Chain A
Amino acid sequence: MARLSPLIVGLVFGLGLCLSGMTDPRKVLAFLDLTGDWDPSLALVMASAVTVAFVAYRIAGKRTLSLTGESLQISTITTIDAKLLGGALIFGIGWGLVGLCPAPAIVRIGFLDGGAALFVLAMGLGMKLCDALFGLRDPSGGAQ
């Protein structure tokens, strides 16, 4: 796999996160604060991101290889179990506590934000802790 391609993906992804407001915890928490002064912006972020990605996954779904001949590594797991539910619950609590999810936290390191670096360090530790307790090794190595 060419290394330049994932680097560009990271840049575009990060620019999108910054422009959308996802890297600003105040913006994220204002979206999660349903009973306060609710800022619906992030619902639009998700809607437009999912729409574009939907088209891409439609195309990818008809193929066995990527456009450049790489194998498509998309999860085939379909089970909805306690690990999925518990994991999503724990993640959501952490997200609501700080207002940062994994990608925006990593982007913020680029602002030389020590607090974000601390958050990412703790995040890595949390991942290692989970692996140690549950021995999770996703064969695809990717999300879901």
Chain B
Amino acid sequence: MQIDWVHFTPWSALGGGLLIGLAAAWLVLIDGRVLGASGILAGLLAPRPGDWLWRLALLCGLVASAPLARHWFAVSDASLATAGPILIVGGLLVGFGTRLGNGCTSGHGVCGLARLSPRSAVATGVFMAAGFATVFVVRHLLA
């Protein structure tokens, strides 16, 4: 392992994490909900009366944040360079996996760890390990 100091961005990472944490804090303290993106989307895809509008509102906020971030933080909006079939396979795996495991990076990785849930700690360990392994295979074994 060698650390890529040139691309290391500690301040924007800490600042961005702070905003993510504040969003999670707000949603649980004000609305009583867990900030888990996959669960919020899944609940919208199988809507129940009285339990879908807040999900839609939150996802609209996510989409609307992109142009604001481009304006305020000069974030790159370059489109994904990944090939279509890879995007489809990746999307299918992410959707299927987060539904089966009941959470993703935000639900398990941020909120679950924050409330010291052993279940979320295990899930986070497994998906991180799987991510490390996948990138190793794709970049160093197949390439």
Q: Give the interface of A toward B (CB within 8 A).
A: 1, 3-25, 27, 29-30, 32-42, 44-57, 59-61, 65-68, 70-75, 77-80, 83-103, 105-116, 118-131, 134, 136-138, 140-144
Contacts and interface: CB of A to CB of B under 8 A. Distances in A.
Nearest to A72: B32
A132 B99 CA distance: 11
Nearest to B125: A88
Given A77-B119, A97-B93, 13 more contacts: A6-B27, A13-B58, A14-B65, A15-B73, A37-B3, A38-B3, A53-B115, A73-B33, A83-B102, A102-B105, A141-B42, A143-B111, A144-B112
B97 A89 contact: yes
A143 B80 CA distance: 27
B130 A88 contact: yes
Contact of A13 (B62, B107, B114): B62
B90 A94 contact: yes
Contacts of A80: 118-119, 122
Interface of B: 1-4, 7-10, 12-43, 45-46, 48, 51, 53-55, 57-70, 72-73, 75-77, 79-80, 82, 84, 86-115, 117-120, 122-124, 126-136, 138-140
Contacts of B57: 3-4, 6-7, 10
A53 B21 contact: yes
B130 to A, nearest CB: 3
Nearest to A77: B119
23 contacts: A11-B64, A15-B16, A17-B16, A17-B20, A25-B82, A37-B4, A41-B12, A46-B17, A48-B13, A56-B29, A60-B29, A74-B34, A80-B118, A90-B93, A95-B131, A98-B91, A102-B94, A110-B63, A110-B65, A111-B66, A127-B96, A142-B40, A142-B43
A45 B16 contact: yes
A102 B38 contact: yes
A19 B69 CA distance: 7
Given A21-B16, A30-B4, A45-B17, A83 B100 contact: yes
B112 to A, nearest CB: 5
Given A57-B28, A107-B62, A143-B38, A91 B93 contact: yes
A33 to B, nearest CB: 5
A124 to B, nearest CB: 6
Contacts of B15: 16, 19-20, 48
B120 A124 contact: no
B54 A94 contact: no
